Amino acid sequence: MYYRQMGSIPNKRHIQFKKEDGTLYREQVMGTKGFSGTQSILYHHNMPTKVLETKHFSNPEIKFEENSSLMHRHLRTEKCNATSDALFGREYLLGNEDLLIGVVKPKIAMKHYYRNGDGDELFYIHYGSGKIETIFGSIYYEEGDYIVIPIGTIYRIVPNTEVMQTFLFVETNSQITSPRRYRNEYGQLLEHSPFCERDIHGPAQLETYDQTGAFSVLTKARGSMTEHIFQHHPLDVIGWDGYLYPWKFSIHDFEPITGRIHQPPPVHQTFEGHNFVICSFVPRLYDYHPEAIPAPYYHSNVNSDEVIYYVDGNFMSRKGIEEGSITLHPSGIPHGPHPGKTEASIGKKETAELAVMIDTFKPLKVVSNALDIEDRAYMSSWNK
């Protein structure tokens, strides 16, 4: 990401920065890869290490199905209920050692502030609006937004409870970035990138609270959840600058790459992390070769599992798919259009489909609870 600055900061890093009463603001360097990765410097009213109490909160246990057959899967997430907030209401559906994938339908504001100490998190806002309060400031979200929350960021999601909320989420053990091939040696997005820096939006407003008391922050790390009781409000940052911060990007700002013949999925890539990529399928013109077949060809994923979250429109290569459907097409066996979909695509000029695809380079496992929302007939749907 590019450099940003919010609030008040001194004119040089690592020097005295005093309040009106002569005491110091507390400088925090927050970064990745030791001191050689992406980083920002934050200035707090209080020491970010000032904690009244630390206690074990829970051991989130995710059980995966055992001895499953190699087959295509279809999960109907419309059957997932809105029961809690954006943390405790998460329904984990798929995962491996690199990431976890699921949906959440928050009904209320998060009861606790929270930070993921293992890696970045990404939300895709299918339905809803609201704001995410963070130590870097507040991000206001709406339908179609991707939200990236860096590792270690303290935040709280406050949904607009007057509208239905549905998020796809990805929890990772790595950093989420833009694809490397879209950037030059200086990090700037290139001319052929399907989006640019103007499409990327950091926090809109820095909200600072200089309050003392007992404030709960939950930290997820090392397979468990720890509660830290701060002596001060966790959002006490007076200013910050750098390259590490939460940001949003709307899927509606993704400019699709098209061609005379069918383009492969990498042209839709939007993000990348360790052993996975995330792609955006958006409304676009179809291929314009006079004998083009717009529907994708049958293919075996090469060393990757393919997950698609269907957002809107008529996905032209599939039958029996609805808004909120998740399909998993694992590596090792081919997949492609349902019967009749290849022929039906010939002569079509454009598509209005909207979907998010996640390709992982290690096999995904299905969470046991996801079996309750599975369409068991999906593997045989190519026979009809």
- Quote the pLDDT of residue 131: 97
- Quote the pLDDT of residue 313: 85
pTM (2 decimals)? 0.96
Confidence of residue 303 (pLDDT cuts 50, 70, 90): confident
All structural domains of the chain: 256-383 (2.60.120.10)
Least confident residue range of 108-117, 147-156, 189-198, 316-325: 316-325
Tell me the per-residue pLDDT of 75-97, one tens digit each, with 9 for 90 and over: 999 999 888 999 999 999 999 99
Tell me the per-residue pLDDT of 184-199, one tens digit each, with 9 for 90 and over: 999 999 999 999 999 9
Task: Please give the Cα distance from 203 to 209 (Å, whole number).
Answer: 16
Confidence of residue 210 (pLDDT cuts 50, 70, 90): very high
Mean pLDDT of 318-345: 93
**Can you read off the two tokens belonging to residue 226?**
């720890």
* Average pLDDT in the chain: 95
Mean pLDDT of 209-214: 95
The residue to which tokens 């303290």 are assigned: 154
114-126: string of b/e by CB count within 10 Å (b at 16+)?
bbbebbbbbbbbb
The residue to which tokens 């002596």 are assigned: 231
Q: What is the percentage of the chain residues whose pLDDT exceeds 90?
A: 91
Tell me the per-residue pLDDT of 16-32, one tens digit each, with 9 for 90 and over: 999 999 999 999 999 99
Phi, psi at residue 383, to the nearest 5°?
-85, -5
Mean pLDDT of 162-173: 96
In angstroms, the first-to-last Cα distance of the chain is 47
Confidence of residue 56 (pLDDT cuts 50, 70, 90): very high
Mean pLDDT of 177-187: 95
Statement: residue 302 has pLDDT above 90: no
Mean pLDDT of 114-123: 97
**Can you read off the two tokens belonging to residue 222?**
């090392």
Statement: residue 316 has pLDDT above 80: no
Statement: residue 327 has pLDDT above 80: yes
The contacts of residue 66 (CB under 8 Å, 6+ apart) are: none
- Quote the pLDDT of residue 254: 98
Task: Please give the Cα distance from 113 to 110 (Å, whole number).
Answer: 7
More confident residue, 82 or 227: 227
